[in-house]
Structure 1
Amino acid sequence: MSPWQVSADLLALTRWLGEPERDLVILSEGNTSEQVGDAIVVKASGSSMRTATPDDFVTVDVDPLVALLRDPAATQDDLTRALTAGEAEGRPVRASVESLVHAAVRAVAPMRFVAHTHPTDAVALLASRQAATAFAEPVYTDELLILGRPLFVPYAQPGIELGRLFLASLEIHVAEHGEPPSLVLLGNHGIVALSQTTEGAEAVSLMAVKSARVRLGARAAGGVAPLGADATAHYFERPDFAERRAHLAGTE
């Protein structure tokens, strides 16, 4: 519990994502983190993003959490002990159970900010029978620019089970594409935005919501017509595309 390590940027991002009109989270849903050296400052379990204060964050070292992920003998109880920071007003204070997701990101790439939310329209698609392929192909240019190549991770119980699957999926994605995704889609769960800037984390989160709404609307209008591989094949090779993507999505 080290509130002095909670930056103004992380606090502003957390509150911004928690505003009700954005429909990204309700109650104590969601969590955010910022990398600080070899540690991450991550939202505590059970706290609200909308009303977050520096006291609602916990600092945890990344390496021990990654070691838990890679240890087949580690249990959920081991994780609970690792996330417990102490007590406040007679109750235990713990980093979010989804801290393993945040640690897994840093195990493969030094992304400064990670934002995990549960947008209604995105979760609707991720809870559908087409969840694994719903975002597989871009349907409009700005989506491709901001979201890049999203990664889909099937449902796993939050905690050590999800953390292990998340890390394995991230490592495969980075090996295949040479970079981490800007957006991770969690089946029957929510989304994770990865960015070097708060503005990028916000942009990825909002574009994911718009993309979900576009798909739901297209389905109602007769079906989704993706851009197709031929139309998007060379986007990632264009310097102007990479420059705009770095600026808007915070990829560098």
Structure 2
Amino acid sequence: MSALEASLLRLAHAVGEPQRELTILAEGNVSARLDDERMLVKATGSSLAASGPDDLVECRFEPILELLDDPTAFEGGAGDARVAQALMDARVDPAAKRPSVEALLHAVVLTSGAEAACHTHPVAANALLCSDRAELLVAGALFPDQVVVLGTRSLLVPYVDPGLGLGRLMRHELRGFADRHGALPKVAWLQNHGIFAIGASPAECLRITEMADKFARILLGALAAGEPRFLSDDVLDRIDGRDDEHVRRAILDAAH
């Protein structure tokens, strides 16, 4: 087992721990970019908590991206069968397990500049994402450590059923975010669905997921107590640009 496979499985096992309330059953997914042509992604139906090396499927990006780019590809009926076949054709090993339909999302994220991704359904985040207050998740930051790990901006993606449409929408939203802010978001909040941690390694994706969950829990508490009081833009810029915070980020990156 390679170092990247081991790191990806550590991520899967961590976010799959039931007491974290991030995923249950076969929910969620993890992935990592192998090179410009391939990725590792969890197989459909596999539990994150119990994932093993055989549950990581090596897939080529090209068949998935070709499907996303094809204007004749659609969802429903024969369209769904075509999506499923494209995912099976993307496998490097024809005997490997079937990739999750959310491999479409992972391919989009990993070909947009990320090295790893983690998709979970945190209870606290989904409580907000399934409400009329979801926009507060991208309204700002509530505490300094949130800025250190998640940055000053994040992305809220409108609800679309998982599959081809969501893959296309995610690609559009990520491109727009990068154009506006000069980089990808650390976290994408999917309305009525869950979150995507977008990082430079599986270890960073775990930190992002943990901090996004903490932020959602604190935001829920602030709403229960009254109205959240977000940090001002001046404070955000100061925290984001402080030398000691850059040092903290470097130490976190080097710790895994």
TM-score, scaled to structure 1: 0.89
Aligned to 1:196: 200
Supply the AA of the counterpart residue of 2:40: V
C-alpha contact (below 8 Å) 2:31/2:116 kept by paired residues: yes
Gaps of 5+ in 2: 75-79
C-alpha contact (below 8 Å) 1:146/1:249 kept by paired residues: no
CA distance in 1, matches of 2:242, 2:99: 40
CA distance in 1, matches of 2:225, 2:129: 20
Q: Equivalent of 1:152, from 156, 173, 181? A: 156
Aligned to 2:54: 55
1:217 to 2:221 alignment? yes
CA distance in 2, matches of 1:25, 1:50: 9
Greater percentage in strand: 1
TM-score, scaled to structure 2: 0.88
Please give the residue correspondences for 1:1-252 in structure 2 after superposition, counting only pairs within 5 Å.
7-37=5-35, 38-75=37-74, 76-84=80-88, 85=91, 86=94, 93-109=97-113, 111-148=114-151, 149-248=153-252
Q: Number of paired residues?
A: 243
Write the deviation string for residues 104-125 of structure 1: whole angstroms up to 9, x where unpaired.
112220x222110001001101
C-alpha contact (below 8 Å) 1:83/1:94 kept by paired residues: yes
CA distance in 1, matches of 2:142, 2:214: 11
Q: How far did residue 137 of structure 1 move?
A: 0.6
Write the deviation string for residues 185-226 of structure 1: whole angstroms up to 9, x where unpaired.
110100111112232111110111110110110111111111
Query: Aligned with 2:23: secondary structure?
Result: coil
Query: Aligned with 1:185: secondary structure?
Result: strand
C-alpha contact (below 8 Å) 1:32/1:114 kept by paired residues: yes
What is the identity percentage for the equivalent residue pairs of Structure 1 and Structure 2? 40
Write the deviation string for residues 80-126 of structure 1: whole angstroms up to 9, x where unpaired.
101125568xxxx31011111111112220x2221100010011011
C-alpha contact (below 8 Å) 1:147/1:249 kept by paired residues: no
Q: How far did residue 9 of structure 1 move?
A: 1.1
Q: How far did residue 8 of structure 1 move?
A: 1.1
CA distance in 1, matches of 2:46, 2:206: 20
Q: How far did residue 231 of structure 1 move?
A: 2.0
Write the deviation string for residues 220-249 of structure 1: whole angstroms up to 9, x where unpaired.
111111112232234444444344335436
Query: Aligned with 1:32: secondary structure?
Result: strand
C-alpha contact (below 8 Å) 1:18/1:49 kept by paired residues: yes
Runs of 4+, deviation exceeding 4 Å: 3-6, 85-88
Moved more, 116-125 or 239-248: 239-248
C-alpha contact (below 8 Å) 1:116/1:191 kept by paired residues: yes
Q: How far did residue 155 of structure 1 move?
A: 0.7
What is the aligned-residue RMSD (CA, Å)? 2.1
